[in-house]
Structures are given as structure tokens and as C-alpha cells.
Structure 1
Amino acid sequence: MPHSIHQLFEHLLSQWSDLPAVEHNNHSITYLELNQRANQLAFEIQQKAPESVIIGISTTRSIDMVIAMLAILKSGKAYLPLNPTYPNARLLELIDNAELEFILCDYSEEQFFNKLELNAVTYQSVKNQEIANHSFPFFEERAYVLYTSGSTGKPKGVCLGHAALLNLIQWQSTNSNAGIGTRTLQFAPLTFDASFEDIFSTLITGGTIVLIEEQWLIEPEKLLRFIDQQKINRIFLPFVALQFLTDTAIAQNIYPQSLQYVMTAGEQLKITPQLVSFFSKLSNAVLFNQYGPTETHVCTCLRLDGDPQQWPALPSIGIPLPNTQIHIVDEEAKEVDHGVVGELWVSGVCLANGYLNNPSMTHEKFVDWTDAKGQIQRIYKTGDLAKYLPDGNIEFLGRKDDQVKIAGHRIEPAELELILTNQTGVSQAVVLAQDHNNGLKRLVAYLIANPQQVNQESIRMALKKILPDYMIPAVFVFLDEFPKTSSGKVDRKALPKPDRRRPVLSQLYKAPQTTLEKNIATLWSDLLQWDTIGLNDHFFELGGSSLLAINCIARLRNEYQITIPITTLYQYPTIDGLVNWLKHGHQKNE
């Protein structure tokens, strides 16, 4: 029986060696080619980095990226994804914590990673030679390292091992009809744990991984048409992306009949009317609601099939996967009866090994626990609230602490608060996630700061140098003091809602004049929650996000019959810029 992901891949290879394994931009490689090229790269890794335990991998999508994932595992190492679009300061933090020395990347990224003091092994430098499968020694407890937001102010690296991942993909292969010929769209970035599931659950069943251009992931109409044209059968995506996909499908009347399996995770699934309409128009599509923090990957799942009209509005997270146990416990660490709310703890083969080079946090979250039968089990404390339902399914009920999810990304407000208080002029900070537009959440930072040293624009620019975009608050509220509870703690519930008045910006306010300018300004005002928007105000510097950009493009089309590619909004993120772009004949009317 194989004891690692790569051994399982090699064990099954002969069954589909000549079938297409990965496709991208009209290019494809077979399973045999994938295995051979991964062997060549694994040999190169062993030659250049024999002592390294962890090897970095660029998240830039390509066939080589998939080869590199498999090669790192074959070389006996663990992979650590690094996103070259992140600020250098953030990447250096991860590199330093992981004690990383080598990264696999395209030759076009070599200089970038060299500047981060990493030894770049480029895909193009690997020798094309016949190399047989070779069993390099490997660490069973470490297949990959993924970083999440940390409450101590530093990101923490979750180390997941081969046993947990084998359990996951073997369950996946036996609980879906996906197999030889199934075409899976690779949606999640490598920094998300779902990327492992969609790639390797495909590679051990003889299916084909279909890669897509990065920018299409934030263009729902292009994504839908790609799914339809490429006959995609399976996709893994967060609920918020599924929401935009279904909204666009209805608006554009695009219902890819090839789609059979949709897996969603990362946030509370809501069965909206749009979701019901979308799945009702598909022939035999099944929706899977998966649950699991990065520290366990998927540990429960609910299957929704049949008539979508009968699906519950707020589905449960289902039942535990095989070899996984879910415990609902009270404040005294005792399991509660079914129907009683408690904290969700996880035990079993799915648990991560812990946090990389962070023993104190590992010992805090992964503990030995004595159950009611007197048996000692290693468990992970999720911090999630839940309860068992009478039918054995588990209902997710939110968090017991302040941790939030923004567009599928897990964020610890405490990390942001520490970073904010380290900025010049800021003495105190509180960060909340608040409901925003169309069911989305946004981060709001409340600051006590010196107005002579800091404002919304300056603090945003400072954060852009050290944090990825999804972690930067949409709004900054400046207060003289924070409301307090009777015990002297900050009363988070009493913090005021953000003022809609346009913030102080470097550019002067210039009012919209034409009907088109006024229409876009009205739309932006509603999306971004500011009372006025000037012609030269920057969409993203006023709190715009990739999800709000998708919403903006959809509403321009639906309300004003103006179709603008989402990339254009990134190129011309002001009303003046968009209007000028449209004046030069780029507009497409529907």
C-alpha cells in the first residue's frame, strides 16, 4: 500500500499512462510525460538541494507548476507555494520562517526570486533525460506547508502530511463518479489547500486537470464560457465565487451542461434563489459542501443532489470523512449531547503535524485530550462553534473568537491590529469584519492616531507594501477613543458604523458632469459606501476589491448596458479613466 501521494500516483500510472493529465493554453501532456518530467525535476532538486526539507514553488499557473508539485513530493521534500504578486515584505516573512533556500519557477521569475535571496531552479534549466521512478527518503508528516494569518501578528505555516492527504483523495475518489476522462478546472491558487484536492484527486483517477488564465478567474462570464467550451465536469471553488458564477449564468443565460460536480468550501454555504435556479438548469450536477480549516484540510462533507428547490437554505457541513472524528465540547472540554452548541474539535488521520517552527502555537492548538471513554486522542481546536443534528449531520454556527473569512481567506484581526499599531502615528487599532454589499464582508479598521501623521490614504499605501490585497481593510475609521465595556475592554459591538463621507485624499474632489460619469459615480457610491465619488478617485484605494470589481462590471452591464472587461477597471480605476476608455470606441453594448 503506498505511503505517500507520489507513490500512489506511480502505483496507478500504468492504468492511464497515455491519457491527457494536464492542459493549458491548447497544450497538454500525458500522464507518462508528467511522470517523466517530474522525475527529471525531482532528480535536479536532489542534486541542487539535498539537505533542504522544504522547496518553494511559484504559484504562477502553468503545466510546469503541476509538474513541480509532483517533483517536489517525489524528491522527498515538502512544497511551499509563494505568490510573486505578494509584497516582498510578506514573502520575506514566509521565507525566513520556513528557512527556505530554493524555489522552482519559470525563468521569467528567476531574477525576482533571486532578489529575495532564494536559489531559483527554473523549469527550463532541467535536463531532458530518461530517469526512472526513484524512492527518495521522505518525511511522512510533511507534504506541503501553507501559511495562514496568525493571531500573534505573524503568519503561521501549517504542515500537512502524506497520511492526511492520502485519506482525503482516496475518500474523494470513492465518493464521486469522477474518473477517467473527467475534466477538472484548476481554480484555487496553490496558496489555498483546495488546490491540492482538485489537482491530486484528479491525478489518481485518470482525469484531466485544465488550467485557466489567472485573470479569467475574476471574470465570471469568461469563466462560464470556458467551462462550457472546454466541457469541464468538475470545479472546486469558494462560495463567494460560486455566488458570482450563478448570478452571471442567469444574467447571460449560460448553463454549462457538462458540469457534474461542484465542490465549495471556505465559508457558510447559502442556497440562494440564484443557486437554486442555476442547479435546476443543469442536467445532473451535484453540489458538495466541504468543511475543514487549513490544519485538517477537508474533514466533513455534505452532498446535495436531487431537486435544488428542496435544498435547505443554510445547509449543514455534513458528516466526518473516514478516519476522522468530530467532537463538540463545552468550556470544560467535555463532549456535549446532540443538539447542544459547543466548540468543534477534530481528531484522526486528517490532522496537520503542527505549525512550522512554532512549537508554542502547535502545543496550544494541537493537544492530547482524554475523551469520555478515557482514551487519549490528539485533537485540533478549530475555534468554530457547531452542534450535531438528530440525523448525524453537523451544523456550523460561526466562530467563538474574532477570526474572519474574507473571500475565502482566513484572517486573524489580531495580526492586522498589531501591524497597524506598528505604523507611524497609530497608537491603537481594532479590526472588524462587517457585512457589506450583496452579502459580502469587508474589513473595517478603527484607529486612534495622530491626524498630523496618518490618514486613510497614507495608511493604505503603507499596508500595501507589507500585506496582500485581501488583508488590507476597505475602510479606516479614526476615533479619539474606543468605547469600553464595564471591565475596561474595548466594546467592539459599540464601535460606530463607518461614516459615508468621502475620505481625505491627495487628489481634490472633481464632480461628475455627464450622464455617464454620474451613472458610474452613483454605482461606485453604492458599492463602496461613500456619499460622493470624484472623477479622479481610485476605485481600489476607496476600498474596492476584486469581488466588488466583479460586482461593478456586472451592474454596469445589467443596469446601463455597458460591457467593460474587468481588466479594464484595473487598468483605468477612475471614473475619468473609464469614460475616456469608452469614448475611444472600446464600449461593447449588449
Structure 2
Amino acid sequence: MRLDPDASGLRAALDDGPAAATILQRILDHLPILAAALPAADVELGRVDILTPTHRVLNGGTPSRLPDYPGVTLHELFRLQAWRTPDAPALVSDAVTVTYRELDHASSVLSRRLTNEVSPGDVVGVCSERSVELFVAIIAILKAGAAFVFLDPDVPAARLSQFVEVSRPRLVLVGPGSSGIPTTAPTTSLPSISGLLTAEPVAAPDVLVGPHSPAYVLFTSGSTGVPKAVLRSHRLHTSRVFLEQSIYGLGSEDRHLLKLPLSSRELFWPLATGGACVLVPPGAERDDQELLRIMRVHRVSVLSIVPSMLRVLAASTAFATLPALRHVFVGGETLHSDLESRVRSFGYEVHTTFTLTEADYVTHRSGPAPSSDGEVSNIGRPLDMRVYVCDDHGRRVPPGVTGEVWTGGPGLAEGYLHEPARTAERFVPNPFDDPQVPVLFRSGDLAQIRADGSFDYLGRRDLQVKIRGQRVEPTEVEHWIRSHPGVDNAAVVGYADLEQGAVLVAFVARTDDTTTERELREHLAEQVPGWMIPRHFTFVPRLPQMPNGKVDRVALRLPERERPGDLPPPTRPDDPRQTTLVGLWRRVLQLEQIGVDDDFFELGGDSLRLLLLRAAIQDELGVTIDAVHLLAATTVRAQAGLWGAAPAGSTHGVERARPSREDAARERDRRAALRRAHLDNDDERSLR
């Protein structure tokens, strides 16, 4: 379109094309609003709000009235369910089953002990590997009126020290898998479940806690090298329980896979509705075959997972034949259409949610995504959150225009712990005159609204990326790379990756040529979790700069995958088995030069790609290799020996793959028929 001034004003010339009529109509729709605003406007023309009434409904006006949820706490919902179904299983593992009555009793005993040392509103740390005792402690802390912070024993000690420093716990409970907690706060050992169950019954503490009281602290990456601590309230999660239960009506027959200590869907939802939480043993969350075994044996019906791990599971034919799985909830990364279609073809329901650390369940989609051009991700529409898409001036934009997501409502966090200035910067007063939602979170995420009211996610306005569902600030990774004495400067860039959302690439200017990629990886491993270590390191003489002196990140391009320069020349395969494996390595690592004595991780592999390699081996060779054995055999030569010495059908390291693709196809047809029958006889169930 061209605009030319003439004696009567502006003359618009619109090129003829398939979208010409639509564009012209949109201009005509907005012109009267602009004309009416001009006489009274005391602002620049570019700041005038010209949304039509229809656009105002789509952008921030849906739903028109937000739900008013009951004002209860998370532990109150659990106690009500324990009263209804005391003998039903609440926590289930291969080794033990804990009923609702037992979980209520054990958590009340521990909460009474905690009240001798903590007060309502205090933060209590829990450092333990995943166990029944960990989840007893979480409920006990809530019953004591405190907020819990999970101190992951698997993260590096330096990172754990930051968690403690930022959250300032009054007390730290220490369980299995933890050692040397860096804190000046008092510490005490987690009591065993058997010891708590044999204690005399006691009433839960009578403490003053409400829906807006803090429930727990959740960490996310910070751009300054220090993680941010997000404070989440009881209301944030009880509202999610009521919302999802009103949609899906789950109950006592459902089994939820429990992989995370901080999850509304995996822990609090089932414990409020009579379901059972099936505990994943420590480390098994990274083992696709073990996850499939657990879901099969314990008849898991509800799975929450990030797309990168779902892709690994879906690569196995065993995933299509799970006997009880019905619901697959996906979030944390972009859900690509090929993966979604594949999982739906197995007869499973797929639900995707757009969730932030600071705001939960912002949008939701259950049905298939609408068709779109390019690799955009449709994240559905808001159900009980107010969601706006705004330009740089804070004005709402029309459908089809990219803007930043601002959101508020019952799923909004309380802010950043001990950081009022940062909270005020990101949690802002609602400028759109909605008394239901007085505060909005400026997310930094970019989106467009479709004409049907659904949202397309388009990435970030800053450098932040998500890797395996974890939010990462590349500038924080840069901070730790620069702390190495052999580094002069560094820039870290996130690039889209089909398998795990994004990958990090580090561009490093060294002080001299002696610093190696291996040294930098080892240095980072002492400071940050594995998902924050870049996949690739590229050494450059200097980082490109813009005229203002800042790093020109646009000039940093994803390097061609090359063999690390500090490795010896690749050794050729000796036999057909090794040759086949080298080909599979090339496919998974996207690297051509691979030798039989190269280490998988030194070539840029990671734990997720190791699982993808195992899936490729199963498809190509018809064998299944235990993850623990594959992890111990990180060269082609070692992997070729895994099944070369094992007899067919052996369960030591290697066994023949069980379900065939024909079995999977038959199971898909059976599940589709069952699903149709379930829909025909669906009864409405409420929160029990």
C-alpha cells in the first residue's frame, strides 16, 4: 500500500492481491476511531489507541468475567480429600504405597515438630532426592503455615549456595541424596515415613494461613548471574486445581506420574481429587524406558511432560501401547505439529498450556492446532486469566500484530522474593481499567492474536530461551564463562532446536589459545545445571560489536557442526556393527566426522540426545539397551560391544525390543474405540 498527499488529504493506493480487500476493510474500520480520537488527543499520533470493539474483546476481553474460586489452601484441599477417601492410595512407588490417611497422619506429625522452629510465612528449605519423605515434608511445611523451597541436590554446590542465599530459609530439612548444604540456617534430617507413621496421632497446627499466603519459592535463571526467586501463593495453585478439574473431572481411578517436587498437576491436583501420585525414582525422569515401564506397570493415566522428552518417548513403540494413559499435558517449550500429531494418533488426548514461572496456565489448548504458516506455536486461549498483547507503548494491538504478552489473574505469582524493585518493574498496575485484575505481569514473550481469539507464540523480545522446559538467561551463562581466567569475553546465543526447544552456542574470545572447550565445560559444570551448559563452543578472535560498543548478536551465526579441534583424528569403524552405529551417531549429533573412539558428550551430545540415540538403535537394530549401560559406554566401540557379547533376549544391558509397530497400530485402534465410548458415556464429575 502507498500513501500520497494531495490537495484533499491522503490518497491510498492498494496493490491488487488476495489480501487487498481484507487490508482495506481493516483500514476503514480503524479510521473512524482515529478521527474521533484526534481532536481530544494530547499525545503523539502513534500512541493513539485505535482498537475496534471487536478487537478489545479479543485482546484482553475474553473471558468477560473471571471465575471466583473458593478461598482455600493447598493443604486444606488435601485434608478434605483425606477425609473423603482415607484408605485410597495417595503416593505409590515400586517399593511402597502410602494411603491418604497415612499421608495426612505423617505430615501432621512432622508439621507439629516444625512449628517449634518456624512461624507462618517463613521459608523452609527441603534438600532431598525424590522420595515419599520429600512429599510428606512438603505437605507438612504447608500445614505449618510456611512456604517451602526445594533445594535440588543434583545442582552444583555453587548453584545450591545461591538458592540458599536468595531464599533465606529459616530451617532446612535434609534427606537422602543431599550433602554439605551451604547454609547458616539450622538443619535437621528428614524423618523416615515408617517413623512418622508409628508416632502418636496429632492434630495439624492451628495456624493462620489464607489463599494469598506464600506456598513455595520457584527459581528461574537471572541475567546477572544470580537466580531469581519467584514467590507463588496457595491461590495460584488451588485455582489451577479447580480450573482443570472443571474441565477434565479426574478422580480416584486416575494415576498421575510424579516427576517434579514443584508441580500443581503432578502433586496437588491428584491429592485434591482422590487420585494417586506415582513416584518416579531419582534419575528415572531422564530414562525413557524406565518411564515407560513405570507408566505401564502402575497404569498411569495422566502425564505432564515437556515436548523434548515427549519426543523421546513417542519414538518408542512401547509408548503407543500404554494400557491406561489418557491425558498428555505439554508445556515449557514449543510443541511442534509433527510431534502433536504423532501423539494424538496413538489415541491420547493432548493438551498444551502456556505457563510462565510468574504466571501459571496463561492460555490453554486441548484440540488440534489451527493451520498456520511457518513454525508458529498455537498456545490456545485464556480460560481464567486476563491476557493482553501490547506494543512498546503499552497499547493493545489488533489481531495479527505482534506484541508482548501482559497477563494477570488467579494464576499470577506474588512477585520476586526479597526484590521489591524488580517486582515493581515486572508486576505493574493494570492500565486497562479492570478491577478483577489489578496487577499484570509483563512477560517479555511475543505473541499474536488470531481472529478466532487464540494466540500464536512467536518467541521472546529479549535473549531468554527455554531448554528442556527450563528458562535460561544466556547472559547468566556468559557471566560464568567470563569468570574463567582464560576467557576475555563471551556471548551466548540460543538457537531453535526441534528436540529440546533451544540449544545454547557460546562464542568465546580467549586470553590465549591454551584454554580448551573441555576446560570451559568443566568450569561451567561446577557453577550451573547441565541444561545451562552450551551445546557448542566457538572460539573467535574477538566478538563483533555495534557502533555503540555492544555485542552485535545479529552477526553471531550458528556455526556449522564441526569436530572439536582438541580431539584426535577420528578412528574408522572396524566392522558393520560399528559402521551402523557411526551412522546413527551422525544422525543424532548432526556431525559428519565421528570416530569409534570418540566420546559422545565431547562431540556435543547430552542426556536427551543419548536417549534419542537409544531410540534410533532400537528402531534400526531391534534391540533395547538400558540407559545406565549406554551412559557407561560413551564411544561407538564400547556401544558395539554392549550387545555383541550379550545373548539374544538378555536383560543385562540389552534385550530384544518387545512391541512391534503392528502391535502399536492395533493398540491405537483399540484406544481410539475406547475413547469414543468414553465420550459417549461421559458423566460430569465435580471436585470431590
Tell me the SS of whatever aligns to 1:269.
coil
Change (3 A) 1:540 1:59: farther
Change (3 A) 1:493 1:353: same
Identity of aligned residues (%): 28
> For 1:226-305, what aligned pairs fall within 5 Å after superposition?
226-249=294-317, 252=318, 254-272=320-338, 275-282=340-347, 285-304=348-367
> For 1:579-590, what aligned pairs fall within 5 Å after superposition?
579-585=640-646, 586-590=653-657
Tell me the SS of whatever aligns to 2:291.
helix
User: Does structure 1 retain, via aligned residues, the 8 Å contact 2:123–2:146?
Assistant: yes
Q: State the structure with more CA Rg.
A: 2
User: Does structure 1 retain, via aligned residues, the 8 Å contact 2:350–2:366?
Assistant: yes
Tell me the SS of whatever aligns to 1:392.
coil
Report the alpha carbon displacement of residue 264 of structure 1 after superposing the two structures with TM.
0.9
User: Does structure 1 retain, via aligned residues, the 8 Å contact 2:119–2:145?
Assistant: no
TM-score, normalising length: structure 1: 0.90
Aligned mates of 1:217, 1:462 — CA distance in 2: 26
Q: Is the aligned partner of 1:76 residue 2:145? A: yes
- Deviations along 1:502-561, one digit per CA (max 9) or x if unpaired, are 224477865543333343334324433444334443222332212101111111222234
Aligned mates of 2:236, 2:340 — CA distance in 1: 32
User: Does structure 2 retain, via aligned residues, the 8 Å contact 1:12–1:204?
Assistant: yes
- What is the aligned counterpart of 1:143 among 215, 218, 224? 215
> For 1:93-492, what aligned pairs fall within 5 Å after superposition?
93-106=162-175, 108-109=176-177, 111-113=179-181, 119-124=187-192, 126=196, 128-138=199-209, 140-187=212-259, 189-190=260-261, 193=262, 195-249=263-317, 252=318, 254-272=320-338, 275-282=340-347, 285-304=348-367, 316-322=378-384, 324-371=385-432, 377-436=438-497, 441-485=502-546, 488-492=549-553
Report the alpha carbon displacement of residue 421 of structure 1 after superposing the two structures with TM.
1.2
Unaligned segments of structure 2, at least 5 residues? 1-69, 647-652, 658-688
Change (3 A) 1:309 1:281: farther
Two-structure CA RMSD over aligned residues (Å):
2.8
Unaligned segments of structure 1, at least 5 residues? none
- Deviations along 1:435-482, one digit per CA (max 9) or x if unpaired, are 456575321100111234411011111111111111101111000122
TM-score, normalising length: structure 2: 0.78
- Deviations along 1:267-325, one digit per CA (max 9) or x if unpaired, are 122221x543442332xx42211112010122221122xxx698879662222232x21
Tell me the SS of whatever aligns to 1:517.
helix
1:30 matched to which residue of 2? 99
2:159 matched to which residue of 1? 90
Tell me the SS of whatever aligns to 1:433.
strand
How many residues in Structure 1 have an aligned counterpart in Structure 2?
576
Aligned mates of 1:222, 1:197 — CA distance in 2: 21
Aligned mates of 1:584, 1:158 — CA distance in 2: 51
Tell me the SS of whatever aligns to 2:248.
coil
2:635 matched to which residue of 1? 574
Tell me the SS of whatever aligns to 2:203.
coil
What amino acid does structure 1 have at the position aligned with 2:269?
A: S
What amino acid does structure 2 have at the position aligned with 1:288?
A: H
What amino acid does structure 2 have at the position aligned with 1:270?
A: H
Aligned mates of 1:381, 1:17 — CA distance in 2: 43
Report the alpha carbon displacement of residue 50 of structure 1 after superposing the two structures with TM.
4.6
- What is the aligned counterpart of 1:41 among 105, 110, 117? 110
Tell me the SS of whatever aligns to 2:273.
coil
What amino acid does structure 1 have at the position aligned with 2:574?
A: Q
Aligned mates of 1:9, 1:517 — CA distance in 2: 54
Report the alpha carbon displacement of residue 112 of structure 1 after superposing the two structures with TM.
4.0
What amino acid does structure 2 have at the position aligned with 1:321?
A: L
User: Does structure 1 retain, via aligned residues, the 8 Å contact 2:236–2:410?
Assistant: yes
User: Does structure 2 retain, via aligned residues, the 8 Å contact 1:54–1:77?
Assistant: yes
User: Does structure 2 retain, via aligned residues, the 8 Å contact 1:153–1:415?
Assistant: yes
What amino acid does structure 2 have at the position aligned with 1:301?
A: H
Change (3 A) 1:45 1:319: same
Report the alpha carbon displacement of residue 411 of structure 1 after superposing the two structures with TM.
0.4
Tell me the SS of whatever aligns to 2:610.
helix
2:584 matched to which residue of 1? 523
User: Does structure 2 retain, via aligned residues, the 8 Å contact 1:300–1:317?
Assistant: yes
Report the alpha carbon displacement of residue 72 of structure 1 after superposing the two structures with TM.
0.8
1:514 matched to which residue of 2? 575
Change (3 A) 1:518 1:111: same
User: Does structure 2 retain, via aligned residues, the 8 Å contact 1:141–1:159?
Assistant: no
User: Does structure 1 retain, via aligned residues, the 8 Å contact 2:71–2:235?
Assistant: no
Tell me the SS of whatever aligns to 1:441.
strand
Change (3 A) 1:222 1:374: closer
